[in-house]
Amino acid sequence: MVSEYIEYLKEAFAEFGEIRARKMFGGYGLYHDDVMIGLVAEDTLYLKVDSETVSCFEERGLSQFMYPKGQKMVGMSYYQAPEEALEDPSEMCHWATLAYGAALRSRQ
Q: pLDDT tens digits for 10-57?
A: 999 999 999 999 999 889 999 999 999 999 999 999 999 999 999 999
In degrees rounded to 5, what are phi and psi of residue 87?
-110, -10
How far is it, in rounded angstroms, from Cα 16 to Cα 1?
24
| Residue 4 · residue 21 · CB < 8 Å | no
Task: Indicate the pTM of the whole model.
Answer: 0.94
pLDDT at 58 over 70: yes
Domains and CATH numbers, the chain: 4-107 (3.30.1460.30)
Question: Given this model, what pLDDT does residue 13 score?
Answer: 97
The predicted pLDDT at position 107 comes to 87
- Output 64-70 pairs: Cβ under 8 A, ≥24 positions apart: 65/39, 65/41
Across the chain, mean pLDDT equals: 95
**Of 24, 47, 29, 42, nearest to 93 (Cα)?**
47
Q: What is the DSSP pairing of strand 44-48 with strand 64-69?
A: unpaired
